[in-house]
């Protein structure tokens, strides 16, 4: 949808103001006769282009008020294209206005045709700059580590931390609940590291029986045990030159922890049934949802292994701690499964979006994906409802402190609205029932970004 072109004419001469107002076609025209009126229009309408008479009252013999108006406009909306006019000391006024940030100028008496060309060019440049910003923002969003879909500052902070440590050849431990995207982040770390040309080898230590886990990690020689019909390389060996991801490291049994510690210290392994040491150069990234500190205290996890694995520890927030992300991810999964299954489902009903925002998501992203996948199949029409998602409203506890409760509520409401409006400020303001300037003020106060 093309953005409406808004032009503000700041001129104290009523006759000239009318002449300029009717000289333009295809624009939404707003007028102001003084600085106060001009600033009010700037706040309420956010015009892309302004024509400004530098000789505004009360400075009838100078241009002080006009320059003050110019400065205030650019402080409020730095991207506004301000075209200044002056009949007093045009050369000096032009130089000063341009130095303050004016986009162009014209000299009185006004040539309507020439001014019309300047205004049209200003709108064109403003549109190009806005599109460049949108493309840059989209590129930045697309550059989130590992292709992760998120708009939450909590998660963006995690991805930026991983990007910083990716270049350092240290072991990284990812701590977070099941379904928060630990393997996706580990892959992103690998792709951002100098080892990205090597293999990324992942193994879930909780999914393999204890009797087979050693063979899976270290490999075995032919005849080492019953059923070992050929020599097989282990996951550690397969990750040579790349990254080894040990998911659910807390489930590794104590006897195997000793062997894993030796590998981390010596960087050599021995296959089962062999005494030949094999050097392996691989980076180790591990993850768990368990409290390893408590396990160490209880003697269920070796302290020396813990410190070898936890050179860098990164905690991943749950989906409930990332306001707005549930809505973004739900739309992604809906599009993904509706396309794959050709169900014809297109979007979520308002009650479904409200339920997604309100639910605590104990199963995190995995639960969200499963619910959306099931709803995509079960929905009777083209719109997924809360009933299709099998969700019920669940109130979140809020702090006792009234000011903190209000701020928490404001932050969550704004993030949810931003996610639902896909970052569109006008749409977000409509959802919240406030004006765009009010929304901008709130976002600035709470340090929120669209």
Domain ranges of the chain: 6-140, 151-317, 321-445
CATH class of domain segment(s) 151-317: alpha beta
Most confident of the following: 11-15, 84-88, 269-273: 269-273
172 has which bridge partners? 285, 312
307-356 tens-digit pLDDT: 999 999 999 999 999 888 888 899 889 989 998 988 888 888 877 888 88
Between 90 and 229, whose confidence is greater?
229
Judge contact between 83 and 50, C-beta under 8 A.
Answer: yes
Q: What is the pLDDT of residue 165?
A: 92
CB-count burial class (<10 Å; 0-12, 13-18, 19+) for 92 = exposed
Q: What is the pLDDT of residue 403?
A: 67
Strands (E), 270-393: 278-279, 283-288, 312-315, 347-348, 383-384
228-237, 273-282, 309-318, 345-354 — which is least confidently predicted? 345-354
Phi, then psi, of 281 in degrees rounded to 5 = -110, 100
Tell me the mean pLDDT in the region 354-370: 90
Q: What is the pLDDT of residue 23?
A: 76
Q: What is the pLDDT of residue 264?
A: 93
pLDDT at 400 > cutoff 50 = no
Judge contact between 100 and 69, C-beta under 8 A.
Answer: no
CATH level 3 topology of 321-445: Helicase, Ruva Protein; domain 3 (1.10.8)
Q: What is the pLDDT of residue 1?
A: 39
pLDDT at 62 > cutoff 90 = no
Q: Minimal CA–CA distance to 203: which of 289, 284, 262?
A: 284
Judge contact between 381 and 343, C-beta under 8 A.
Answer: no
pTM of model > 0.95: no
Count the alpha carbons within 13 Å of 322 in the hemisphere toward its beta carbon.
Answer: 26
CATH for the stretch 6-140: 3.40.50.2300
H/E element, 433: none
Same CATH topology for 6-140 and 321-445: the answer is no
pLDDT at 394 > cutoff 70 = no
How far, CA to CA in Å, does 307 sit from each of 11, 265, 277, 300? 70, 11, 24, 14
């Amino acid at each position: 949808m093309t953005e409406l072109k808004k032009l503000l004419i700041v001129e104290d001469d009523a006759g000239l103001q009318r002449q300029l107002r009717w000289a333009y076609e295809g624009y939404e025209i707003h007028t102001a006769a003084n600085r106060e009126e001009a600033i009010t229009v700037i706040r309420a309408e956010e015009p892309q282009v302004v024509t400004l008479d530098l000789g505004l009252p009360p400075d009838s013999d100078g241009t002080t008020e006009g320059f003050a108006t110019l400065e205030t406009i650019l402080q409020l909306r730095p991207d506004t294209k301000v075209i200044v006019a002056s009949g007093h000391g045009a050369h000096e006024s032009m130089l000063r206005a341009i130095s303050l940030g004016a986009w162009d100028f014209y000299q009185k008496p006004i040539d309507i045709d020439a001014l019309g060309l300047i205004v049209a060019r200003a709108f064109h440049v403003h549109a190009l700059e806005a599109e460049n910003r949108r493309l840059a923002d989209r590129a930045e969003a697309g550059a989130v580590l590992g292709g992760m879909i998120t708009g939450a500052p909590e998660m963006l902070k995690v991805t930026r931390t991983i990007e910083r440590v990716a270049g350092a050849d240290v072991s990284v431990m990812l701590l977070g609940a099941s379904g928060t995207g630990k393997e996706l982040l580990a892959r992103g770390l690998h792709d951002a590291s100098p080892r990205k040309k090597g293999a990324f080898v992942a193994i879930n230590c909780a999914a393999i029986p204890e009797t087979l886990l050693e063979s899976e990690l270290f490999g075995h020689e032919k005849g080492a045990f019953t059923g070992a019909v050929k020599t097989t390389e282990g996951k550690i060996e397969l990750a040579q030159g790349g990254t080894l991801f040990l998911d659910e490291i807390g489930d590794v049994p104590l006897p195997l922890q000793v062997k894993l510690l030796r590998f981390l210290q010596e960087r050599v392994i021995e296959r089962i049934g062999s005494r030949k040491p094999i050097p392996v150069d691989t980076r180790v990234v591990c993850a768990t949802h368990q409290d390893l500190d408590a396990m160490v205290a209880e003697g269920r996890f070796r302290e020396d292994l813990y410190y070898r694995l936890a050179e860098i520890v990164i905690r991943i927030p749950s989906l409930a701690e990332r306001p707005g992300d549930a809505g973004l991810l739900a739309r992604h999964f809906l599009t993904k499964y509706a396309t794959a299954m050709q169900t014809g489902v297109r979007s979520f009903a308002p009650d479904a979006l409200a339920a997604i925002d309100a639910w605590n998501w104990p199963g995190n992203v995995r639960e969200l994906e499963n619910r959306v996948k099931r709803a995509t199949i079960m929905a009777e029409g083209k719109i997924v409802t809360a009933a299709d998602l099998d969700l019920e409203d669940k109130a979140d506890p809020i702090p006792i402190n009234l000011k903190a409760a209000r701020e928490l509520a404001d932050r969550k409401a704004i993030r949810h609205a931003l996610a639902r409006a896909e970052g569109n400020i006008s749409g977000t303001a409509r959802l919240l029932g406030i004006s765009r300037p009010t929304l901008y003020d709130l976002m600035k106060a709470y340090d929120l970004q669209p």
